[in-house]
Structure 1
């Protein structure tokens, strides 16, 4: 880690590890985002470097009538690897939240991304009770767009609990770049070989993005199962980082 700077309500934790990668964790001073908060994170991964970015805990979004947002912009140099794997986002009742994830990869760069969103505080009867959730994902390799999409969950388009049914969480996994060629092939084969069963607790899909990337989606009836499954699907990461970022976490 060459340098790190953060201003309230965001702070950055940069723990030492036994590998060659730089690790950084985001955290908020108030335990979550409140009305009017706007986080903006800019990341540069130098050519040939490896970086792991995650979060200290779930991204909790509290009631926010005027909205709050989070923007991540990352540039990944040639032959570098960035793993952006934060904990899930949980929007509580009345939350209005938007995020933008933008990644610019140089030729030969690689990216691992995991983005999970949950129904909120289901144990308190708050299932998909937020007011607005929007997520924009853009990934470019050089001048070429690998993915450019926007998710929108808004009750004005229909009651969210009815639309999302029995599912408590959804995930997006993205693997791009030459360092992940073997991992993409193995993960695609693994996901597509899963049996299709009625009322399954986990429903995944896997879509190759040309020869450069792989996009995996999943919906689950349990947040814990989805987190556990995505970590299992990313079990190749410790070897690329030189250390296991999940070893000290339950």
Structure 2
């Protein structure tokens, strides 16, 4: 089933707001607090579906006008159900000059025989800030279903003025790769990726050092932070629990969002 969600966030008199929205079932988009100190728009994607089913095709388009700020949230964990074929999701985000977009969704739970392809395309102009993450679990771990999905792929491409500056491809195929060997998950069951990127010329060296010190002694995880060629950084994190990784990403998101550079 083809499912669409198109939203446009605008900026007026110092405040960001939902200017326009178009959704089809099972999507809904609702505000969760537009009147905070930062004057940003806070929106949540909701769904009446329990997750992605075989043949689902999610098409999401987000336009953030110049000067607007959007923090997008999800309602719950994203479940990928048993599939004979595949499900796909394409998310395209366009940031106008001076726009801010942050999206730290709940973890993804790929169930037995699921096959999922996700493609994120981000277009940025000058003076923009981007926060984007994803977490993929091993499946229904507490039910004994570990790495029984067929295919998980999340491809992210970021463009500035039409030029590709970042491409990240997470591809996990448990039946075709030694998924718990060195260089892949190394015995862990959950993987997270966190991207911060700005086109405002803001150096990120202090942020990299801060987050490294903040999380280097946390138990049951392994992580690394890499500076990007542009002004930004990427965090890879491995762990055993989705909630722990999600909490860490939410903390990092909030520190960046609350920082002077985003207000």
TM-score range, shorter chain: 0.7 to 0.9
- 1:6 aligns to 2:20 (yes or no): no
Query: CA, structure 1 residues 14+180, in 2 after alignment: closer, same or farther (shift >3 Å)?
Result: farther
C-alpha displacement at 1:159, in angstroms?
A: 5.2
Query: CA, structure 1 residues 121+185, in 2 after alignment: closer, same or farther (shift >3 Å)?
Result: same
Query: Relative to structure 2, which stretch is displaced further, 144-153 or 157-166?
Result: 157-166
Aligned-partner SS, 2:33: coil
C-alpha displacement at 1:185, in angstroms?
A: 3.4
Q: Structure 1: state its 5+ residue gaps.
A: 242-250
Decide which of 183, 194, 201 is 1:173's aligned counterpart. Answer: 194
Distance 2:230 2:120 in 1: 22
Decide which of 90, 95, 105 is 1:86's aligned counterpart. Answer: 105
Decide which of 213, 217, 236 is 2:255's aligned counterpart. Answer: 236
Aligned-partner SS, 1:66: coil
- Give the number of the structure whose residues are more often strand, by fraction: 2
Matches within 5 A, 1:110-129: 110-129=129-148
Query: Relative to structure 2, which stretch is displaced further, 58-67 or 223-232?
Result: 223-232
Distance 1:122 1:220 in 2: 13
Distance 1:64 1:159 in 2: 22
How many aligned residue pairs are there?
A: 239
Distance 2:174 2:26 in 1: 28
Aligned-partner SS, 2:51: coil
Give the alignment's TM-score, normalised by structure 1.
Answer: 0.86
Give the alignment's TM-score, normalised by structure 2.
Answer: 0.82
C-alpha displacement at 1:63, in angstroms?
A: 0.6
Aligned-partner SS, 1:86: coil
Decide which of 234, 238, 259 is 1:219's aligned counterpart. Answer: 238
1:27 matched residue in structure 2: 46
C-alpha displacement at 1:238, in angstroms?
A: 5.0
